[in-house]
Copies of this chain bind each other. A is one copy, B any other.
Amino acid sequence: MPDRVEPLPNRMVERLVAYRRHLRQCLGEGRTQIYSHELARLERVTPAQVRRDLMTIGYTGSPATGYGVEGLIEHLAGLLDTRSIGGFALVGAGHLGRAILDYLARQHPEYQVAAFDINPEKTGRITHGYRCYMIDELERVLAECPMRVGVIAVPAEAAQDTAIRLIAAGVSGLLNFAPVRLHVPDSVFVEDADIALLLEKVAFFARAGRSEEKV
């Protein structure tokens, strides 16, 4: 893989992660080759988009046989390798936080994960194998075990302060579930998982989906 200093575009990383998931599934089913139109159909993009994405990361297939499943998985593994993040610090161990711990346990069993909450009833527990600490311990825990990804699952009014604290403790990427926009330094990557907004958006298209309606 050539050295690259330019980060990949946001949406492209999303697609590469999704391609990898399908490729792993194909591998599990014993397949050795896959065509761009198959990956495209699975991801609801065009085959040309798939080919552009894979060309951008320096992987080429053959028009006759497609892409080698195992080779492409390995290539993506090098590119998407995130072991250097150390782990995930999750703030807010309510229902949403516990659902996220479940995703982390299933998808990323190889990472350190620490949960934090303000409520003493939730702290001290082990959920999905991960310890939940009092929020006061955030700085100490992250100093001992650096974690570059912060997940914010606290109420809207606490989200900005939580972001500042996580960043001060060394976090450089945030997944924000609170329905507010965070103000962070440019060096920090923020992805909003804005469930309230998605609910409104789906409601809009559910209404507009029927052709007899006018929008």
Q: Which residues of A contact B (CB under 8 A)?
A: 3-8, 10, 13-14, 17-18, 21, 42-44, 79-82, 84-85, 88, 94-96, 98-100, 102-104, 106-108, 148-149, 151, 171-175, 179, 181, 187-189, 191, 193-211, 213-215
Contacts and interface: CB of A to CB of B under 8 A. Distances in A.
The 5 closest A-B pairs by CB, nearest first: A173-B206, A96-B99, A189-B205, A82-B203, A172-B209
Nearest to A101: B95
Given A171-B206, A173-B203, A193-B195, 6 more contacts: A8-B215, A96-B99, A100-B199, A103-B199, A148-B203, A175-B202
Nearest to A107: B196
B175 A107 contact: no
A13 B196 CA distance: 13
A81 B203 CA distance: 9
A211 B85 CA distance: 14
Contact of A104 (B42, B151, B197, B199): B199
Contacts of A171: 206
A171 B205 CA distance: 11
